[in-house]
Amino acid sequence: MATKKTLPEVTAINKEIKRLTGIIEELDENKKALATGPIRDLAFMRVTLEKLKDIVNKEGVIDEMEQGGYTIQRAHPALKSYNDMIPKYNSSKQLLINMFPKEVATNLDDGFESFVMKRD
């Protein structure tokens, strides 16, 4: 069941594009041009991953599917989509990070490192 992108999703994608574009400001013009595609993909994937995560959190990881006169349990389709997309998201993110000089790339924080450091 395909769903149409809603205005809040489009807004979230555009906000993420803007955030990521701000991160690449210090790159030279050639690298900025190369980063445009991955940034759009990353923004789309991040918003989509959040949506899929919300669906799984709300509906659970197991889905019951009717099969004729009985039902079978299977992994929720949103979970499968999430698990299929997350490696692609991480790969695209790494591609973008690799465009930065090594000393800058190690200082890029997508929020996870900050979260871990605040857990005490």
Q: Which sequence spans correspond to the domains of the chain?
A: 7-102
Is 1.10.287 the CATH classification of the domain at 7-102? yes
35-56 confidence digits (pLDDT tens): 999 999 999 999 999 999 999 9
pTM over cut 0.85: no
Q: Which pLDDT value is given to residue 6?
A: 75
- How much is the pLDDT for 12? 95
For residue 119, is pLDDT > 60? no
HEC profile of 74-113: EECHHHHHHHHHHHHHHHHHHHHHCCCCHHHHCCCCCCHH
Model confidence pLDDT, tens digit, residues 52-92: 999 999 999 999 988 888 999 999 999 999 999 999 999 99
Helix H or strand E segment including 20 = helix 7-23
